[in-house]
């Protein structure tokens, strides 16, 4: 495991209220080497987003260790670039100001952050909308803007939580292709949470499968296709077979609490 990546060791978390305690994660192990794209899939409520919140420093785990580039992430916001499920654009800031916000919060001077954002508006398919309000943007454009904001945060590690989940199927597929093109220009270490098995296979080098709550890693599936991947790959026999393997791993994970084993 390279220090520039992500590593989880026996990570567990319990949410406790006055009335009940809910075990979200139970002994999760995961590794993402520097420059790799890894996805996590699993049923709703299995703790996928909890993993990202811990790595983002927004949640301190009950037990175990979460490392980002060799440093503990527990209670330490700012080590990663984190994109939550909703775009969370500020309605009172125009597109350019929204794009630079994360970098500004990270300490990049406003002028430098906005200059860099302006340079990337074309690459992110947003040319001509620098001064638009969020309400004037389409759903896909809002997602691209939120992703640009995430890219501009000065961290080589990105966490993406269902970034395209609210989009229609056609726009979602376009965004997947577009994200691959952007990552081909600028290498990042990426951990993606998604419910979409096909999306995970289109984008990732590896896919981890989680069991129902309390979440455990039930399987790890290697994806052998070279990136970036062409749209037609999803109908290729090898891709279809791997998708079937991943779905089978999901079904098996739903009935097994065994530790993660490679499925492929």
pLDDT attached to residue 234: 92
pLDDT attached to residue 231: 84
pLDDT attached to residue 201: 95
Mean pLDDT over 242-263 rounds to 72
Where is pLDDT greater, at 258 or 214? Answer: 214
Mean pLDDT over 22-49 rounds to 92
Q: What is the pTM of this model?
A: 0.89
Note the pLDDT tens digit of each residue in 238-250: 999 999 999 998 8
Note the pLDDT tens digit of each residue in 91-133: 999 999 999 999 999 999 999 999 999 998 988 889 999 999 9
pLDDT attached to residue 182: 81
pLDDT attached to residue 261: 46
Mean pLDDT over 187-197 rounds to 92
Q: How many Cα atoms occupy the beta-carbon half-sphere of 244 within 13 Å?
A: 7
What is the share, in percent, of the chain residues with pLDDT greater than 90? 59
Report yes or no: 122 and 130 within 8 Å, Cβ to Cβ: no
Q: Please give the Cα distance from 69 to 80 (Å, whole number).
A: 9
pLDDT band at 258 (very low <50, low <70, confident <90, very high): very low
pLDDT attached to residue 256: 57
pLDDT attached to residue 77: 86
pLDDT band at 263 (very low <50, low <70, confident <90, very high): very low
Domains of the chain: 1-80+157-163+188-264 (3.40.50.300)
Mean pLDDT over each residue of the chain, to the nearest integer: 89
Give the bridge partners for 16, in sequence order.
21
pLDDT band at 205 (very low <50, low <70, confident <90, very high): very high
pLDDT band at 253 (very low <50, low <70, confident <90, very high): low
């Amino acid at each position: 495991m390279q220090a520039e990546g992500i590593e989880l060791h026996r990570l567990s978390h319990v949410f406790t209220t006055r009335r009940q305690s809910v075990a979200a994660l139970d002994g999760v192990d995961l590794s993402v080497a520097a420059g790799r794209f890894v996805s996590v899939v699993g049923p709703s409520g299995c703790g996928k987003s909890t993993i990202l919140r811990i790595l983002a420093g927004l949640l301190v785990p009950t037990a175990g260790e979460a490392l980002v580039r060799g440093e503990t992430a527990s209670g330490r916001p700012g080590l990663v670039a984190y994109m939550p499920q909703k775009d969370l654009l500020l309605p009172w800031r125009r597109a350019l100001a929204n794009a630079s916000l994360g970098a500004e919060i990270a300490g990049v001077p406003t002028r430098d952050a906005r200059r860099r954002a302006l340079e990337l508006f074309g690459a992110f398919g947003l040319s001509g909308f620098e001064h638009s309000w969020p309400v004037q943007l389409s759903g896909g454009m809002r997602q691209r803007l939120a992703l640009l904001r995430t890219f501009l945060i000065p961290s080589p590690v990105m966490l993406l939580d269902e970034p395209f989940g609210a989009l229609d199927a056609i726009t979602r597929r376009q965004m997947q292709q577009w994200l691959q093109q952007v990552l081909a220009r600028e290498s990042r270490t990426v951990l993606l949470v998604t419910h979409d098995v096909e999306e995970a296979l289109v984008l990732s080098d590896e896919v981890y499968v989680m069991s129902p709550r309390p979440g455990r890693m039930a399987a790890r599936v290697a994806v052998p296709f070279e990136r970036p991947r062409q749209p037609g790959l999803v109908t290729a026999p090898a891709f279809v077979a791997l998708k079937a393997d991943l779905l089978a791993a999901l079904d098996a994970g739903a009935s097994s609490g065994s530790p993660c084993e490679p499925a492929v």
